[in-house]
Chain A
Amino acid sequence: MTMSGSARPEENSKTTPPKPRIAVLKLASCDGCQLAFLGLGDKLLELSGQAEIVHFAEAGPLGPLTGLDITFIEGSLSTREDHDMVLSVRKESRFLVTIGACATSGGIQALRNLASGPLLSSLYPSPEVIDFLDQSTPVASLVPVDLELWGCPVTGDQILLALRSLLFGALPPVQTDKVCLECKRRGIACVTVTKQIPCLGPVTLTGCGALCPSFDRGCYGCFGPAENPETSSLARSFSGLGLTPAEIARRFLFINSNAPAFREEGRRWQGGDPHE
């Protein structure tokens, strides 16, 4: 354990402890969450004064994945190699943090978990060269995860707050509020109430700063299900706003289709209105 696991000022220590070792890894994903890291700009430089970024392919360093204090993983488990890497890195990490929808719920690629029929042959001319697992799954389905940062992608602020807290040796507070609260705090008029736009905000975790409603669009649910998501009531109201059962199912079976609350509600509507 190389990190000062103490909330004390480092100055109290007689010798300067080695800097905490951080790794940023990637599984099946679009790299958007790593970009949120890179987008930190000056803050990333400031971070390098406090921690050693030993492995971050997108940014350059490709050091060994051993003796890690904080490991961030982007992407879902999609191949056998992904499994092996996650098992090994879990053993080497004090804190394992998933960043983004892919690593946390399986991501948009988990839509293939729901597909029936020959998906590969309908997409690729030579499907036999593609080797992946049956399902796209979150990292937590394989190993214990200390902290899950939702989002598609995560934001720089989310990463910074989590990092700072982990550098103190403590987990950050877990965000559980819904997008609606953030809309109201920001003074954004509800798009459902004013424009009858279907919005997943009432069941979705906040963290994006209510980005879509601030541009007159309904929430897409990028940050996954919030605590106590009343998906059934919301889905019924979507029906009242004129969405067909298939459209309602697609709202839930989208970026976080493999998150249980969204998956179950989406499936309920796949075959038609479950209340009829």
Chain B
Amino acid sequence: MTEESRGFLERERFRELFDRLLVRGYQTIAPVVRDGTIVYAEVSGPEDLPRGLRDLQTPGSYRLEAEESGRFFAWANGPQALKPLLFAPREILWETRRESDGALSFSSSSPSPRPLAVIGIRACDLSALALSDRHFGKGPFPDPGYALRRRDLFLVAVDCSHLADTCFCVSTGDGPEAQSGFDLALGELDSGFLVRSGSEKGRELLRELSLPPPESSMEEALKIQGDRARSSQTRRLPSRNLQNALASRPDHPHWNNLAARCLSCGNCTSVCPTCFCFSEREEPALDGCSSLHLREWDSCFTAGHSYIHPAPLRGETRFRYRQWLTHKLDYWHDQYGRSGCVGCGRCISWCPVGIDFTEDLPLLLGEADGH
């Protein structure tokens, strides 16, 4: 564990962080406003960030509106976590070529990503990253595309000060402040940022910025801000470990109630920062002499996900919803040592019909197990 360095970065000097990252050869990705929401995209400086905006999220709805403080991070999150940057929504795994003598050859398609710096990562998404690392990094042959993109990341986290109505990271233990897994973390005040390092790389960059130490009043203000955010959060998951709590209730009638509302569209799994399922397919060239083997994000809400000849094992929506939630909250403990939910609330906001599983969970568990 590297020693933590701290400094205060005035709002007017925010650009220097971008400049230092550029000097170090990073392509910088940060939140930008697009299509009425906030997504990660390449930026050149702070002017590209969603300054003076906040997000209003409710089940099935996401809106941005103006905000007074002029802060850069007065909002909670957008539909994307780090997932699309590391686990590409669509990528070529290998190409097969057939020679004129019929011999087959295979070449893997390795991405050669530029080192990426990501500014604005929230605590929930850092937890999700740690979970994805465990999934895609496991075994003697980790996922090659993920590993290559993961290698040269520089992660600048931001503590959440303005939580969305849909967040429940406090109850999952993942937020609102960034705890680990970052190179630098920012705590935003109206006057600027308290910057702290979380890695040797981060310490070096912080040294290059040569920032003054934060005043104790700033530390105090940040703490109050964090506490206020924490206590403002009303949505929550049961604090206890749900291992075997859902798996033991496969026939609970409330699964049918959920299925009656669910569209089985897979939006929840797509925005979930820890959902990792993908499908594979071939894309042959027209000349019939070569073919690409691709993978794409899949979802346990599709028929293809559980298909074995002659029909999907989970043909009905209630089985698909049950698989998703039971895996996320229950089986994940056995697979990766903790729940697969980090409390980001995206599955609630981005569900087109606004299903909020935190409302349904107590019903699935029996009232006594609820809030």
Contact = CB atoms under 8 A, between A and B. Distances in A.
Direct A–B contact in the complex, CB atoms closer than 8 angstroms? yes
Interface of A: 8-9, 11-12, 43, 46-47, 50, 160-161, 163-165, 167-168, 173, 176-178, 180-181, 184-190, 192-196, 199, 201-203, 216, 227-228, 230, 233-234, 236-237
Given A187-B39, A193-B350, A164 B288 contact: yes
Contacts of B28: none
B288 A234 contact: no
B329 interface: no
B315 A194 contact: no
30 contacts: A9-B102, A160-B286, A161-B283, A176-B302, A180-B263, A180-B266, A181-B298, A185-B90, A185-B270, A187-B39, A187-B84, A189-B35, A190-B350, A190-B352, A193-B61, A193-B62, A193-B351, A201-B265, A202-B267, A202-B352, A203-B265, A228-B264, A230-B263, A230-B265, A233-B260, A233-B261, A234-B263, A236-B353, A237-B353, A237-B354
B102 A8 contact: yes
B286 A199 contact: no
The secondary-structure label for the interface of chain B is loop
Contacts of A12: 102
Tell me which of B260, B281, B302, B315 has the highest count of chain A C-beta atoms within 10 A of its own C-beta: B302
B284 A164 contact: yes
Interface in B249-305: 260-267, 270-271, 281, 283-288, 296-299, 302-304
B286 A194 contact: no
B138 interface: no
B295 to A, nearest CB: 11
B180 interface: no
A176 B267 contact: no
B111 interface: no
A216 B35 contact: yes
A188 B266 contact: no
A100 B39 CA distance: 34
Q: Which 8 A-B pairs have the closest CB atoms?
A: A184-B270, A202-B265, A185-B89, A194-B36, A189-B35, A202-B263, A180-B265, A189-B37
A193 B286 contact: no
Nearest to B279: A177
Interface string B92-132: 00000010111000000000000000000000000000000
Interface of B: 34-37, 39, 60-63, 79-80, 84, 89-90, 98, 100-102, 260-267, 270-271, 281, 283-288, 296-299, 302-304, 315-317, 349-354
B9 to A, nearest CB: 30
B35 A178 contact: no
Contact of A181 (B36, B60, B297): B297
Given A180-B266, A237-B352, 5 more contacts: A50-B286, A189-B34, A194-B35, A228-B303, A230-B262
Contacts of B303: 176, 227-228
